[in-house]
Amino acid sequence: MKRLLPQTLAGQMIALLLLALIGSQLLSFWFFFDERRAAVRAAARGQVFSRTGSIVRLLTQTPPRLHAQILDAASNPRLRFWLSPEPVADETESDDGRGALLTDHLRRELPSGIEKAFVNVNEDGESFSRPWRRRQPHEHSAREYRPDRSRAEPLLHGRPALPRHPGHRVGLKVSVLIPGQRWLNAETALRIPPLTWALPSFVAIGVTAVALIIIVVVMVRRITQPMQRLATAADRLGRGESVEPLREEGPRDIRLTTRAFDRMRERLQRFVQDRTRMLAAISHDLRTPLTTLRLRAEFIDDPDAKKKMLATIDEMNAMVEATLTFAREESAQEDTRMVDLAALVESICADLNDIGQDTRFKPHATASYACRPIGLKRAVRNLIENAVRYGARALVHMEVRDTAYLIFVDDDGPGIPEAKLDSVFEPFMRIDESRNEESGGIGLGLSIVRSIVQSHGGEITLANRSEGGLRATITLPRD
């Protein structure tokens, strides 16, 4: 279910507003439908009562021989009248609830002198007592009723007709006692309304929804686009790339956030530049006294003292150069571009093989990756050189996963104690127990590697292999 839900802010806002719109519109439509249905029924009942009152006046003022024609002319498939010796409406139901209210309404439409009138409400789907058909001119109309028929099957004027429409249902039963001890009965049929009558309401809901969605999309994009640019710039800045100042746009809160990000970017760049200049100055200041010390060491007569002093000076020079290299890596401004990561790693292994180092690369398919290739190449090369130096050979292979590229560098060396797997990344940290001091290095190689990898948004980890040796893993994000 979570995968079906929108993941972006714009998608979630649009989905929530759309659900709220649909819910409110459906609720309003339901109220409207119920009120409209009640209004239509009330109007229909008012017409039935008015027509019933008019027919009662006609029957009381015309001779009985015309009654059949009057009732036949007044009847139709949804409202029919007939005369019978007994009422079709129940007196008990007429005195309770809605029946009593409708009976009072009917009596207001009847002429004076009418003593009994009953109205029954029936909306549960009961069908007409008998089908109706208008009497043809040649048919006999003198008889008004047949005494052998029950109240459940009232008589109709004329012969029985074809079946009525299946959507008609009895809505009201009306019985009025007219002079002559005859009951004028009426039944109304309610047709189930088709869905097409609600089409205008659905169209209005659709138009409202489309208009609201357009407005919401415009507003949400105005909010989310600056946020997306801010997220992209923050990710690039975290990877060590050069980021231009962002354009301040959108709502006030977004503009303030963009302004704060630009100030942070400027402070970080100024800090890195100041530190780089400071290290360059220190390097320049240290080289002069180191050169002086070397010259003075040449005039020492004691060969052993001279040798030790020159070795110390060389070590100090190496530390200065390594420190400058480390600083340059963190402040590098190399442009990011798309490269084939597999080809880049393979080319490093090939170059090291050419100079006699035992490196093996397991071929891998093309893997496009946006990076700063010179820096990343230096990091991978350092790892492979360390593997060859301390483990005799380097076995390199890659894996491509859904969210990351993985580069593995294995060696056959003695490994590193578990307690020191993390500390070896600290500057000038050396593991004397497992690394040969005579092989060179002052402990900045892995620090430089981690700095480069982290500037690409990745991570580097070390782990001892079960079969012996050390595995270095570089994890680089794909997005």
- Say if residue 278 is in the same domain as residue 260: yes
Q: Which of 276, 298, 333 is the last residue of a domain?
A: 333
Q: For residue 397, what pLDDT is reported?
A: 94
Task: Note whether 169 and 50 are same-domain residues.
Answer: yes
d(CA 219, CA 228): 14
- pLDDT of res. 189: 72
CA atoms of 207 and 286, how far apart (whole Å):
77
What is the per-residue pLDDT across 205-233, written as a single tens digit (0 to 9) for each?
778 778 877 887 888 877 788 888 888 88
Do 304 and 369 lie in a common domain?
no
Maximum mean pLDDT: which of 3-17, 185-199, 249-263:
249-263
- Please tell me the distance from the alpha carbon of residue 279 to that of residue 34, in angstroms, as a whole number: 82
C-alpha to C-alpha distance for 295 and 304, rounded to whole angstroms: 16
Residues 113 and 18 placed together within one structural domain of the fold: yes
124 versus 10: the higher-pLDDT residue is: 10
Same domain, yes or no, for 282 and 309? yes
| In a shared domain, residues 347 and 247 | no
CB 477 within 8 A of CB 458: yes
Structural domain boundaries enclosing 187: 1-134+164-193
pLDDT tens by residue, 384-418: 998 998 888 899 999 998 889 999 999 988 888 88
Q: Is 91 within the bounds of a domain? A: yes
Where residue 278 falls among pLDDT bands split at 50, 70, 90? confident
Q: What is the CATH number of the domain that holds 293?
A: 1.10.287.130
**Residue 97 included in any domain:** yes
Least confident stretch, 39-53, 206-220, 439-453: 439-453
Which residue among 279, 303, 333 closes a domain?
333
Question: Can you list the alpha helix ranges (DSSP code H) found in 239-364?
Answer: 252-297, 303-330, 341-354
Provide the pLDDT confidence category of residue 462 given band limits of 50, 70 and 90: very high
Q: What is the pLDDT of residue 152?
A: 35
Same domain, 406 and 297: no
The position carrying tokens 């009965």 is 185
In this predicted structure, the answer to whether residue 193 has a pLDDT above a threshold of 60 is: no
For residues 182 and 245, membership in a common domain is answered with no
For residue 428, give the DSSP letter. T
Residue 421 lies in a domain: yes
Total structural domains within the chain: 3
Share of the chain above pLDDT 90, in %: 12
Mean pLDDT score of the chain = 77
The fraction of the chain above a pLDDT of 70, given in percent, is 75
Residue 346 neighbours by CB under 8 Å, 6+ apart: 361, 363, 364
Mark 34-60 as b/e (b = at least 16 C-beta within 10 Å): eeeeeeebeebbeebbebbbebbeebe
* pTM of this structure: 0.49
Residue 87 dihedral angles phi and psi, to the nearest 5°:
-75, 145
Residues 6+ apart with CB under 8 A from 231: none
For the cut 90, the answer to whether the pLDDT of residue 345 exceeds it is yes
Residues 320 and 353 in one domain: no
Query: Does the pLDDT at position 436 exceed 90?
Result: no
CATH number, domain of 345, equals 3.30.565.10
pLDDT given for residue 196 in this prediction = 62
328 with 347, same domain: the answer is no
Whether residue 237 has pLDDT greater than 60? yes
**In a shared domain, residues 322 and 372:** no
Identify the pLDDT of residue 156: 40
For residue 199, pLDDT beyond 80: no
Mean pLDDT of 329-338: 69
Comparing 25-39, 152-166, 239-253, the range with the smallest average pLDDT is 152-166
Q: Residue 46: CB partners within 8 Å, gap ≥ 6?
A: 105
Give CA–CA dist 39/33, Å, rounded. Answer: 10
More confident residue, 180 or 60: 60
**pLDDT value, residue 282:** 75
In a domain, 143, yes or no: no
DSSP 202-226: HHHHHHHHHHHHHHHHHHHHHHHHH
Is the confidence at residue 33, as pLDDT, over 80? Answer: no
Is 325 part of a structural domain of the chain? yes
Q: What is the pLDDT of residues 115-167, one digit of tens each?
A: 788 888 765 544 444 444 444 444 433 334 333 334 333 444 433 333 344 44
**Residue 4 confidence (pLDDT):** 67
Residue 306: per-residue pLDDT: 85
Of 335, 314, 316, which is closest to residue 324 (Cα–Cα)? 316
Q: Is the pLDDT of residue 374 over 60?
A: yes
| Confidence category of residue 313, pLDDT binned at 50, 70, 90 | confident
CA distance readout (Å), 360 to 198, 395, 416, 421, 435: 75, 5, 22, 24, 22
Residue 206 domain-assigned? no
> What pLDDT is stored for residue 79 in this prediction?
83
Tell me whether residue 203 is in a domain: no
| From 130-139, 189-198, 260-269, 420-429, the region with the lowest mean pLDDT | 130-139
| Three-class DSSP category at 241 | coil
The pLDDT score that the predictor gives to residue 437 is 44
**Does 307 or 98 have the greater pLDDT score?**
307
The answer to whether 380 touches 354, Cβ cutoff 8 Å, is no
Contact present, 380 and 348 (Cβ < 8 Å)? yes
Measured in whole angstroms, the distance separating CA 379 from the mean position of its chain's CA atoms is: 40
Shared domain check, 240 and 93: no
- Strand 168-178 relative to strand 459-464: parallel, antiparallel, unpaired? unpaired
Given 285, 314, 333, which residue is the final one in a domain?
333
Is the pLDDT confidence value at 100 over 60?
Answer: yes
- Please give the pLDDT value at position 32: 67
Residue 65 within a domain: yes
> Does residue 465 surpass a pLDDT of 60?
yes
Per-residue confidence (pLDDT) for residue 128, from 0 to 100: 42
Residues paired with 173 in a beta bridge: 120, 187
Specify whether the CB–CB gap between 269 and 262 falls below 8 A: no
